[in-house]
Structure 1
Amino acid sequence: MEECFLSRNLYTRDHLEHLNRIGKITPELQQAFQAFNRSVMKEGALTVKEKEIIAVAVAHATECPYCIDIHTKQAKKAGASLKELVEAAFVTASIEGGGAIAHSTHVKNALDPEGDDILYRRSNLSRMDHIKPLAPEAFDGAMSFFHTAGGEGTLSAKLKELIAVAVAHTTECPYCIDLHTQSADKAGASEKELAEAILVASALRAGGAYAHIANMIASYDEDEA
């Protein structure tokens, strides 16, 4: 039994066929989810192409292979180039990496016998470079990467900052949300564009859970067999 389980591939496109059964199992929930997803991904302050690029970036943060596959195809259909999608994925990488460094301020606080009881202060960001003298080469390398990933490229700086805000809401890093919301504002993003980017992140987080229902159904059926 164990050998059979270990040899089974948990991620195949065929699993997505199981999602067709959800409409029969819980039709109301299926309809509500689909309506939510359609409303989020339709043209608005952001174009469909921009939303699909953001979706691909967020899918790399949620690490859902189904979402990456589906939204990469939809982004391509909407006119996104491979270079644009790679740049978007690198923005995700920079936010994931930056979030870890931003949270290193908690290490400094933890090692302080008189450390602040409030773990999340905006002022913590002023102490983010405390690890630079401890690992200068690695810190400088990280900062160089973050700057390059977020800079103007095939994607505009504004769209990259909108991606960053969406990913920051996905990784739930308050420092990243704060910094990149301000940077997006400086790059010319409107509040409506920010709201739509955040809702794309919401849809992708929900979508990742939804897509994995296919795995649950496959496992349930296998157990019956």
Structure 2
Amino acid sequence: MSITQNEDSLYLRSNYAKYAGKFVPYAPETFKAFSEFNKLAMQEGSLSARFKELIAIAVAHATGCPYCIDIHVTTGHKLQLTKEELFEAIAVSALVKGYSAFYHGINTLNALQENPRDELYSRSSLPLLEQFENINEQLYTSLLEFRHQVLQGQRVSRKEKAIIAVAISHITDCPYSIEFSTQLAKEEGATIAEIAETVLVATALKAGSALAHRINTYSAFVREDEKSQ
């Protein structure tokens, strides 16, 4: 039997509406609790609801969840987020996710030592990254320039970009990224209340990404049963 394009596809926009509620009857209180948490995390507070959607979109690009991207970009469009703002937020997401990998180069340099340090993460280790400049100055400089360009204030301000960076650093789980982005956000004038709300938006999106993939789980579980009907 030949497989149609829809049967072969693991992601269809229409699948969200088709399958999103299927698991709810099996854990109604838990689904309700998450829905309430998500609503609270995204509501107006120290950060505007509009800016929280921009953070959510950036985070969705870091998690790579297509359902999350679709839902939050649609919501952001209703809140009149522009393509320019979206692209700048996506660029911050790309920067922090990529820079987290770059920061882990410190662990690479440590592993290459004759007597590697037992401590794998320390603020004092950050200058070790400069060793990469001697290895490939052009590549090293281009990374620094990329960071400089992305974090410049344009349609999205420097402060807002720094706050978005805090959110993405909580997706990458890189302590160096968390350290850098939090300090940068503070320098740009972010308050502790704004940072707290940012962490909660990141949490909602990271958990929401896992939850959104229940669509694939349910589809995989019932596929053969549906074919036999």
Tell me which interval the TM-score lies in, with the shorter structure as reference length. over 0.9
Partner Cα distance (1:163, 1:9) in 2:
32
Is the contact made by 2:23 and 2:218 (CA closer than 8 Å) also made in structure 1? no
Are 1:164 and 2:160 counterparts?
no
Task: Report the TM-score, using the length of structure 2 for normalisation.
Answer: 0.94
Partner of 2:22: 21
Aligned-partner residue type, residue 43 of structure 1: E
The whole-number CA distance in structure 2 between the counterparts of 1:173 and 1:4 is 42
Report what 1:10 is aligned to.
Answer: 10
Instruction: State the partner residue of 1:137.
Output: 138
Which residue of the partner structure matches residue 100 of structure 1?
Answer: 101
- Segments of 5+ residues of structure 1 without an aligned counterpart are none
CA offset at residue 24 of structure 1?
A: 2.0
Letter in 2 for 1:60: H
* Superposition CA RMSD, Å: 1.5
Q: Distance in 2 between matches of 1:111 and 1:215?
A: 41
- 2:221 alignment partner in structure 1: 220
Question: Which has the higher mean CA deviation after the structures are superposed, 58-67 or 77-86?
Answer: 77-86
Q: CA deviation at 1:23?
A: 2.7
1:47 paired residue number: 48
What is the SS of the residue equivalent to 2:134?
A: coil
2: distance between equivalents of 1:74 and 1:175?
Answer: 32
Q: Is the 8 A contact 1:105 1:130 kept in 2?
A: no
Aligned length: 224
Say whether the 8 Å CA contact 1:168–1:177 is kept in structure 2.
Answer: yes
Name 1:120's counterpart in structure 2: 121
Supply the distance in 2 between the matched residues of 1:23 and 1:109 (Cα, whole angstroms). Answer: 47
What CA deviation, in whole Å up to 9, does each residue of 1:73-112 have, x standing for no partner?
Answer: 1112122111101100000111112111111111111111
Q: Partners of 1:119 and 1:176 in 2: how far apart?
A: 15
CA positional deviation for 1:21? 2.0
Question: 1:4 Cα shift?
Answer: 4.0
- 1:79 match: secondary structure: coil
Partner of 2:125, secondary structure, is helix
1:149 Cα deviation from its structure 2 partner: 0.5
SS in 1 for 2:130: helix
SS at match of 1:215: helix
Aligned-partner Cα distance in 2 for 1:58–1:71: 10
Scaled by the length of structure 1, the TM-score of the pair is 0.95
Q: Distance in 2 between matches of 1:100 and 1:31?
A: 36
Give, in whole Å, the separation in 2 of the partners of 1:124 and 1:84: 34
User: Offset at 1:52?
Assistant: 0.3
In the alignment, which residue of structure 1 is the partner of 2:57?
A: 56
- Report what 1:191 is aligned to: 192
- Calculate percent identity across the aligned residue pairs: 38
